[in-house]
Structure 1
Amino acid sequence: MRVALFLTCVNDTLYPQTGRAVVSLLTRLGVEVDFPPGQSCCGQAHYNTGYRHEAEPLARRFAEVFRGYEAIVTPSASCGAMVRELYPRLGDRARVEGRGGSLAATLAPVVPRTYELTEFLVDVLGVTDVGAWYPHTVTYHPTCHGLRSLRLGDRPRRLLEAVKGLELVELPGAEECCGFGGTFALKNAEVSAAMGADKVRNAESTGAQVLCAADNSCLMHIGGTMSRLRTGLRPVHIAEILASTEEEPAV
């Protein structure tokens, strides 16, 4: 199977190791992975801040860059949700405003073929044991877009539970937002910081060494809070855990 990796802006700029982990993991599972160099921002930041029209050219570019692939895989539930949930709205709104149906027609082919990493592994490849080894105690935070928009459910947990050496412990208040929310963290800094502190304190109470999630944007916020609170926890993307083996342990 030939798929395209949609890395996202945050990962490309700040967390390239997550992209490398996705490629390593999928290649190990027999998947041929391409990285289309023309990819750019999906437009989520623009759309969520109210610049809907400015998001449209980015959505069109996404559709053109990733056209023709069997599947588009991303290690970001928030950007995956932008494509799956909000691209159809962009197209419909353009049609309602009398700007024709070309945007909707352009976006339609890529919407159902875009998958967040864990749902691609479980739903498309049909695997939960990916041959990973990660000898640490881990607690899992389900991010808002994965939980509420993509409805990932227990897919990430099933993958983590199959990792050899990994002890998965329950996170109190797991379904509560970490406080990031993109520009919410900028516009409501005090509330965002308080929510982040609650999340980190709950994670500390588990005794885990690692807090895992499927979105590096949320992990960036949580990790910053961990640093300020001087905890012993580490934020790690689920792709890096699943890519780790005894031969190639995660850093």
Structure 2
Amino acid sequence: MRVALFSTCIGDALFPDAHKASAIVLSRLGYDVVFPEQQTCCGQMHVNTGYKEQAIPIIETYVDAFADPSIDYVVAPSGSCTGAVREQHVELAERFGSKALVDGAKIAAKKTYDLSEFIVDVAGTYDVGAFFPHRVTYHSSCHSLRFIKVGERPKELLRHVEGLELVDLPNAEECCGFGGTFSVKMPEVSSAMVSDKVRHIKDTQAEYVTAGDSSCLMNIGGALSRQHQGIRSIHMAEILASTKEHPLTPTSAVYKKEKML
């Protein structure tokens, strides 16, 4: 089976380690992982700020990259971008695009999965051979929780990581306050929300907080760093890629970037 990795724009620009880790995990599961170089953004920021018709060229690029029949599945380590592809692309193509774009958007959206969805639903496993001997708490990103409804998949994957102690996060259903352009338009509200999130994370006494979205981890990690909490943010893909033979070191892209915020 041939799996295309959708890196997402934030992953490509800021957090490549999470996407490299995703490729490692998928390869370990026996898939032929490819990376279409023409891929760019999912267009979510444009759509969510009202530039819906202007997002059509981005959707066309996504279709060109991933509707290819030689690609069996598309996997993104981002519930947010997966949600945008599945919830927005076909609707916008029907409204502003051609019939060919509609057909292509349907094909591409149907085979696009979040990483945790793919591992559980397609690969059919919870155990990817990972080893991560640390106390970890999990943050459910809004799109993962409410749009694509990944449910307990990420937590079950973490529970099957050897050595990992998973602790529940209080008020886990609450947003971290990032919300893409929301954090730019309403910075005071966003700051208050992430402060609440960090307080709950601190209450778990975890060493790491993980999630399926780098954008949430950037926001949370930045707040943790500014408050000198000593808790690191890390993408779940990096945990799943860590093994006894090749353990994760605290030089992940998320960790390095949060120290700069």
The TM-score with structure 1 as length reference comes to 0.96
Letter of the 1:106 partner, please give it.
G
1:73 is paired with a residue of what secondary structure? strand
2:210 is paired with a residue of what secondary structure? strand
Indicate the residue corresponding to 1:27 in structure 2: 27
User: Alignment RMSD, CA only?
Assistant: 0.9
Indicate the residue corresponding to 1:187 in structure 2: 185
Check the 8 A contact 2:42/2:85 in 1, yes or no: yes
Between the aligned partners of 2:190 and 2:73, the Cα distance in structure 1 is 35
Deviations 1:209-236 (A, max 9, x none): 0000000001001111111111111000
Indicate the residue corresponding to 1:91 in structure 2: 93
Indicate the residue corresponding to 2:46 in structure 1: 46
| Structure 1 residue 49, shift from structure 2 partner | 1.0
Deviations 1:81-114 (A, max 9, x none): 01111112212322xxxx6533322211111100
Between the aligned partners of 1:39 and 1:137, the Cα distance in structure 2 is 36
Indicate the residue corresponding to 1:122 in structure 2: 120
1:1-251, aligned counterparts within 5 Å?
1-67=1-67, 68=69, 69-94=71-96, 100-251=98-249
1:47 is paired with a residue of what secondary structure? helix
Check the 8 A contact 2:63/2:101 in 1, yes or no: no
Between the aligned partners of 1:248 and 1:20, the Cα distance in structure 2 is 14
The TM-score with structure 2 as length reference comes to 0.93
| Structure 1 residue 147, shift from structure 2 partner | 0.3
Give aligned pairs, total: 247
Deviations 1:144-182 (A, max 9, x none): 000000000000000000000000001000000000000
Structure 1, unpaired ranges of 5+: none
Between the aligned partners of 1:106 and 1:28, the Cα distance in structure 2 is 30
Between the aligned partners of 2:113 and 2:74, the Cα distance in structure 1 is 6
Q: Which consecutive aligned stretches of 4+ in structure 1 deviate over 6 angstroms post-superposition?
A: none
Structure 2, unpaired ranges of 5+: 250-261
Check the 8 A contact 2:221/2:233 in 1, yes or no: yes
